[in-house]
Amino acid sequence: MSTTREKDEDRELQGEADFRVFWSELKQNGEDVDSWLKFQATNYQDVDSKHGAITHLRSFHNKLMFW
C-alpha cells in the first residue's frame, strides 16, 4: 500500500500537483513580449498537501491567500 507522500510525488510527476502554485514574471509597460506569459521553472510555491488540494486563490493586501 502506498503512502500519502508517495501518492503526492506520483501526482507531481504526472503534472497533477494540486498543492503547487506557479507564478509568471512581472509585466513591464512597453514590453515586446508579455511577461505574464513567461513562467520560470523555479517560480512556484508548494503548500502542505496534508490539508488537501488548493481549491481557491485570492489576493489580500498584496499577499496570495489559498484554501
Instruction: Grade residue 5 by pLDDT with cuts at 50, 70 and 90.
Output: low
Give the residue with greater pLDDT, 3 vs 36.
36
Residues facing 45 on adjacent strands: 21
pLDDT of 46 reads: 84
Instruction: Grade residue 43 by pLDDT with cuts at 50, 70 and 90.
Output: confident
pLDDT of 51 reads: 78
Residue 33 lies in domain:
4-66
The tally of domains found in the chain comes to 1
